[in-house]
Structure 1
């Protein structure tokens, strides 16, 4: 059965130490690590804490901003990404999620050149650390501060152009779980996916990304998860939720309900968890 992790962004108000303790208590085998919490706790101590817990790091959030949209120069963003790659390696992370940066007044081709220039340097570090870089596209309504890549097809084309096992796609159901063209081509996507972020949606896409708990929105999350597994996906799923509705939930209930949902969805495929 594929691993389900909980992303630390979901339990925004908890510390890293609380996340680790409560994820384990809830029965999770994986954790999606947020660099901000790791930095607040102390990176070296945090790596040891997670390792001792037995949780597997499915993905590390995040590095990128190579277009300058986050206020750093491209070179500063590359140096930060090198540090993040080494950190992901120390964590044994399945991948490091990459947000390339918004258009930032660049034309598309210039933004793509900046991204490719960064990847040309970073992939050697990724190979040395044995950490995949997973580029995440976003719906255009959410992407301004994060990425100029706003469709799955162009992101896959970029990934394929490198022919590297260390460059992948981060697929997020919140952003593209409604796109029938994407969902119809899951078998073609599966070989390129480094991690699947799970989030449901009721409202239209927006920069605030009001993400609903699994099964409580308009998206057919269960069908998407089953479709990916049926198409041969054996990688990780990571619950990434945010917004006012999530903040109103008790985190312990959210942990339990997300895991129960995932187990019910995959029970016909992989059987119940032991």
Structure 2
């Protein structure tokens, strides 16, 4: 069965304690941890808190930025990613999300080679700790500085090039779900798919991420869910919502709406 979870980016202003309490009370089974919140609260306290809250760690965000666009050199980014691998192992997280980093004035072939070399090194550590990495493609309209990897074909090519059994992908419907071909890709993605994040938007991303409540945008989330079930995907499903369109909605309302939306999705598939 899929674990329904919430990414902490959805409740960015809340503390770790508030997140755990609210997610559990709302009926979610998992939590996507955000490393700055983890650093603030401490990993040992987090493990204890999540045990008390009966929340499973579906993901840890994020490691990477290997091209230098995030302020770290390649070696420092790799060291930080290996540190994140150890954190993910201690948390028993389903996956560690990895971002490539922006092109940062590199030619594309050099950026790709730098990324693959770094992923091979980090994947070796991930294999030793039995942690699964998930490379996430980011829409160019809102994330050029975070990743030069924008589409599923390129993501799969890099995964196959690196060749590690512990490197897969994270699919965020906000970033790739407005492309009509994405659902057609699911049979090819399924063997590599570690995490699905549900996000919606009223238009294609431009500038800052601007997500709306699930089901109120143009991403065909029900078709995504049905296709994932049809493909036999049993991994975690996370809500990730942030942006101007939901700034005036309380976190409690965001969580309640998301949980009801997931309940309707799973209920509709069960009845069919």
TM-score higher than 0.5: yes
Q: Output the TM-score relative to the length of structure 2.
A: 0.96
- Determine the C-alpha separation between the residues in 2 that align with 1:101 and 1:219: 25
Q: How does 1:112-191 map to 2 (within 5 A)?
A: 112-191=112-191
Give a deviation string over 1:164-209, Cα, whole Å, max 9, x none.
Answer: 3210111110011111222112111111111011110103312311
SS at match of 1:248: coil
- Determine the C-alpha separation between the residues in 1 that align with 2:93 and 2:217: 29
- Determine the C-alpha separation between the residues in 2 that align with 1:132 and 1:207: 30
| CA apart distance, 1:270 | 4.1
The 3 A distance-change label for structure 1 pair 199 and 113 is same
CA RMSD in angstroms, aligned pairs only = 1.3
Question: What residue is the counterpart of 1:265 in the other structure?
Answer: 265
- Determine the C-alpha separation between the residues in 1 that align with 2:33 and 2:48: 13
Question: What residue is the counterpart of 1:111 in the other structure?
Answer: 111
Across the two proteins, how many residue pairs are aligned to each other? 271
**Structure 2: gaps spanning 5 or more residues:** none
Q: How does 1:1-274 map to 2 (within 5 A)?
A: 1-270=1-270
**Structure 1: gaps spanning 5 or more residues:** none
- Determine the C-alpha separation between the residues in 1 that align with 2:207 and 2:236: 26
| CA apart distance, 1:157 | 1.5
SS at match of 1:207: coil
SS at match of 1:228: helix
Give a deviation string over 1:36-85, Cα, whole Å, max 9, x none.
Answer: 11111122212222233210111000000100001111111111101100
Contact between 1:30 and 1:57, CA under 8 Å: does it hold in 2?
yes
- Determine the C-alpha separation between the residues in 1 that align with 2:117 and 2:146: 18
- Determine the C-alpha separation between the residues in 2 that align with 1:32 and 1:91: 11
SS at match of 1:9: helix
Contact between 2:119 and 2:162, CA under 8 Å: does it hold in 1?
no
- Determine the C-alpha separation between the residues in 2 that align with 1:13 and 1:85: 25
Contact between 1:191 and 1:233, CA under 8 Å: does it hold in 2?
no
- Determine the C-alpha separation between the residues in 2 that align with 1:165 and 1:226: 27
Contact between 1:66 and 1:73, CA under 8 Å: does it hold in 2?
yes
